[in-house]
Amino acid sequence: MKNTFSLLFYLKKPKNYVAGAMPIYMRITVDGVPKELSTGKQCEPERWNPKTLRLDGKKEDARTINCHLKTIKEKVDQAHTDLFKAGQGITSLSLKNKYLGVEEEAHTLITAIQDHNDKLKALIGKGFT
């Protein structure tokens, strides 16, 4: 099954914004379902180029941030490739978690029952019958 996958960077205007730098966010979209997260970088709105999704200019700070965004894109692309090679379902959440290094735990009925039984066993003898 083929998934549509896109990644874009944009400036997110915070609440009560007056002036100054705005945080740069990225949006991972798979099959029309978006997941957003911060890149940890900020940019002045007048320096942001919405066509290239990067900072304009040749100054050191612009090159540094643009390089950081390129690295993020490469890591997300690598996470997408890893999920595809492993034969796992590719969703925006699974891609975001793979990029962040968060392992998803498989939830099954047996593990839910075992967890419930363990919690009840711990309560026996402590006023619970």
Grouping H, G, I as helix, E, B as strand and the rest as coil, residue 112 is helix
Per residue in 67-81, pLDDT tens? 999 999 999 999 889
25 within 8 A of 12, measured Cβ to Cβ: yes
Residue 122 above 90 pLDDT? no
24 within 8 A of 10, measured Cβ to Cβ: yes
Give the pairing type, strands 48-49 and 54-55. antiparallel
* Domain range list for the chain: 5-104
Residue with tokens 């490739």: 81
Residue 26 above 90 pLDDT? yes
What is this structure's pTM? 0.71
